Amino acid sequence: MEPITGAEILVRCLKEEGVEYLFGYPGGAVLHIYDALYNQDEVKHVLVRHEQAAVHAAEGYARASGKIGVVLVTSGPGVTNAVTGIADAYMDSIPLVVFSGQVPTALIGNDAFQEVDAVGITRPCVKHNFLVRDIKNLAETIKKAFYIASTGRPGPVLIDLPKDITIAKAEFHYPKKIKLRSYNPTVKGHAGQIRKAVDLILSAKRPMIYTGGGVILSEGSTELVELTQLLSYPITNTLMGLGAYPATDKQFVGMLGMHGTYEANMAMHNCDVLIAIGARFDDRVTGKIDKFCPTARIVHVDIDPSSISKNVKVDIPIVGSVPNVLRAMINVIRDEKLRPDAEALARWWRQIDEWRAMKSLSYRPSDEVIKPQYVIEKLYRVTEGKAIITSDVGQHQMWAAQYYHFDRPRQWINSGGLGTMGFGLPAAMGAKLAFPDQDVACVTGDGSIQMMLQELATMKQYHTPVKIVNLNNGYLGMVRQWQEFFYQKRYCMTYFESLPDFVMLAEAYGHVGMRIEKPGEVEGALREAFAMKDRTVFLDFLTDQTENVFPMIPSGGGQNEMLLAERDEMVSTHDEGMVLL
């Protein structure tokens, strides 16, 4: 076999892995790799305008499709710019393989031009990383990276490639399979634990199913729906888990957590058996830990043992992949014809319906000023609930999660763990590349959108027509809300005295811009925008500047201590709560 260069090996590996898109940005250390990409069209390269966007776009692609997102950046600032995206993928367990260029091996450690310790900088925010020091290990390292990124609890893996490695030659052998003695995730749940869990689940008088992003990552939605409907139990999803169970089904009680529904949080607080699936008891979900689910015995299914009993001690832990464990549970229940306590369940549902009747997501409509919630409701209607929605971070993110009812997994794409402003636009581009025939909308705000605006140019170049729904209130709304509630309305640095004309801006990038100022124009504008199938449309909605996200559990509060709307007087949180902000 003819030896080929490291750069050529890399491209061959990408083809072996079936990589469709490579999101990247060239530079000195990766010039050989770009040269190897030149004469082929199997791996399509998307030239972003900033490396952070390359990672977010790869995340959007991965989150929408379930495939691995692949990124290529140069050394030094190339990789430091990518770090935010890598950390974002790490927090949300998104499978990525990131290739970073590095200065030649002989110069490593010499403070060479565009040198940073990429494996050192990224170590705390990757599932694993590699520095390739020998061309002979390159292909195998890449195989390992794809394997580690996509198995177990997924996550980003970085491979740092010194320039001389991309030039050196070796014969190309791509291993078909890889086995690591130190890495072997548990997929199948322990039969004894599953049996114990089923007994506890069926003994419940006030059961609650609480599921997170793990269900989506593991493609466990089918099993989740089957189990939930078999039991007729109420179910809530975390922000990361929305879509795993159809939001329009009557058993769904809405999202839980800081801005979750009253019924979801009250059911959590009062349940006697909690069935946690692919969720990690994040602080935005639990509220104050010692007030969390005080009367519940807890079953927790997760593929990552370190997620179990990390924040909340659980009674029956089951390590395994969600579809695998849930299938086993369903089999036990069906085989033994087990039935939940129908009478207790009917009582429980009556209680939940009372909480539901509080209509915690109601808001004061207006004919004068556009309410942001109203825009999301119309977006839901105009897209018939079918669009892929990406979001940035802030109030608009919560409104999108609350008012767009996601009926299928991978329909809702947001930065949950890290909360990265700027995520939404490049993620929408990645999702659109994965599903060119589906409507993709990016729900954003005037703060977030300005962090990744430059990608409007990339979207023009690669023809990824998405609809940008900008809820423009002139404020960093979520921070403003907290300043209103907890800092006596001292709005420090949350008002943008100057904003660009987003319509002109969209047009400058070759897109369509629309400004919507009246509630009566909202639906028409959305219809007009979505009718333009092949254009990116920037819809700039001027919304109520003072609107707040409700319901809300103030920091330090328990799940039963929700504020329902403006009518509730905001009690300022105590000192302990302020620390938790």
Partner 1 sequence: MNNDRHLISILMENEAGALSRVANLFSARGYNIESLTVAPTDDPTLSRLTLVTCGNEQIIEQIIKQLNKLIDVVKLIDLSETDAIERELMLVKTKASGEQRAEMMRLAEIFGGRILDVTEATYTIELTGAGNKLDNFLRAVEKDAILEVVRSGATGIARGQKALRA
Which one of the listed residues 113, 313, 354, 359 is annotated catalytic?
113
Residue 305 touching partner 1 (CB under 8 A): yes
Structure letter (DSSP) for residue 573: P
**What are the phi and psi torsion angles at 72 (to 5°)?**
-135, 120
Q: Looking at this protein, which amino acid is placed at residue 147? A: Y
The question of whether 114 is a catalytic residue gets the answer yes
Residue 123 touching partner 1 (CB under 8 A): yes
Which one of the listed residues 8, 17, 23, 51 is annotated catalytic?
51
Of 447, 501, 438, 453, give the one whose Cα is nearest residue 477.
447
Smaller CB separation from partner 1, 122 or 383: 122
Structure letter (DSSP) for residue 510: T
Residue 148 touching partner 1 (CB under 8 A): yes
* Segment near partner 1 (CB under 8 A); pick from 253-261, 306-314, 330-338, 388-396: 306-314
Q: Looking at this protein, which amino acid is placed at residue 550? A: F
Out of 20, 140, 304, 523, the only residue in the binding site for partner 1 (CB under 8 A) is 304
Which one of the listed residues 67, 143, 163, 467 is annotated catalytic?
163
Burial of 164 (0-12, 13-18, 19+ CB in 10 A): middle
Out of 119, 274, 326, 393, the only residue in the binding site for partner 1 (CB under 8 A) is 119
Out of 131, 204, 244, 314, the only residue in the binding site for partner 1 (CB under 8 A) is 131
* Segment near partner 1 (CB under 8 A); pick from 187-195, 298-306, 520-528, 536-544: 298-306
The question of whether 481 is a catalytic residue gets the answer no
Q: DSSP letter string over 318-357?
A: EES-HHHHHHHHHHHHHHTT----HHHHHHHHHHHHHHHT
Cα gap 340→202, rounded to integer Å: 5
Shortest distance in whole angstroms from residue 274 CB to partner 1 = 19
Shortest distance in whole angstroms from residue 310 CB to partner 1 = 6
Residue 190 touching partner 1 (CB under 8 A): no
Smaller CB separation from partner 1, 141 or 232: 141
Cα gap 25→49, rounded to integer Å: 8
Cα gap 531→50, rounded to integer Å: 30
Out of 3, 18, 120, 524, the only residue in the binding site for partner 1 (CB under 8 A) is 120
Q: Hey, what are 184's tokens?
A: 């072997």
Which one of the listed residues 478, 514, 552, 562 is annotated catalytic?
478
| Order of strands, sheet of 297-302, starting from the edge strand that comes earlier in the sequence | 252-255, 235-237, 207-211, 273-277, 297-302, 316-319
Interface characters, 242-281, with partner 1 (x: CB under 8 A)? ----------------------------------------
Cα gap 386→398, rounded to integer Å: 19
Q: Looking at this protein, which amino acid is placed at residue 391? A: S
Q: Hey, what are 498's tokens?
A: 């100057």
Q: Are 411 and 389 in contact (CB under 8 A)?
A: yes
The question of whether 163 is a catalytic residue gets the answer yes
Of 316, 270, 325, 263, give the one whose Cα is nearest residue 294.
270
Out of 41, 124, 489, 493, the only residue in the binding site for partner 1 (CB under 8 A) is 124
Out of 127, 378, 405, 511, the only residue in the binding site for partner 1 (CB under 8 A) is 127
Interface residues for partner 1 in 164-183 (CB under 8 A)? 180-183
Q: Are 213 and 93 in contact (CB under 8 A)?
A: yes
Distances (CA, A) of 125 to 4, 57, 84, 118, 121: 32, 18, 9, 11, 8
Q: Are 128 and 60 in contact (CB under 8 A)?
A: no
Q: Are 509 and 429 in contact (CB under 8 A)?
A: no
Helix ranges (DSSP H) in 372-476: 372-382, 395-403, 424-434, 455-461
* Segment near partner 1 (CB under 8 A); pick from 191-199, 300-308, 347-355, 475-483: 300-308
Shortest distance in whole angstroms from residue 309 CB to partner 1 = 7
| Contacts (Cβ under 8 Å, ≥6 apart) of 109 | none
Residue 310 touching partner 1 (CB under 8 A): yes
Shortest distance in whole angstroms from residue 180 CB to partner 1 = 7
Q: DSSP letter string over 370-392?
A: B-HHHHHHHHHHHTTT-SEEEE-
Shortest distance in whole angstroms from residue 131 CB to partner 1 = 7
* Matching residue, tokens 């390269």: 45
Interface characters, 483-522, with partner 1 (x: CB under 8 A)? ----------------------------------------
Size of the site for partner 1 (CB under 8 A): 21
The question of whether 497 is a catalytic residue gets the answer no
The question of whether 459 is a catalytic residue gets the answer no
Residue 313 touching partner 1 (CB under 8 A): yes
Q: Looking at this protein, which amino acid is placed at residue 423? A: F
Smaller CB separation from partner 1, 20 or 304: 304
Smaller CB separation from partner 1, 145 or 239: 145
Smaller CB separation from partner 1, 182 or 488: 182
Shortest distance in whole angstroms from residue 124 CB to partner 1 = 5
Residue 309 touching partner 1 (CB under 8 A): yes
Interface contacts to partner 1, rule CB under 8 A:
119-120, 123-124, 127-129, 131, 133, 148, 180-183, 304-306, 308-310, 313
Q: Catalytic site residues?
A: 51, 113-114, 163, 478
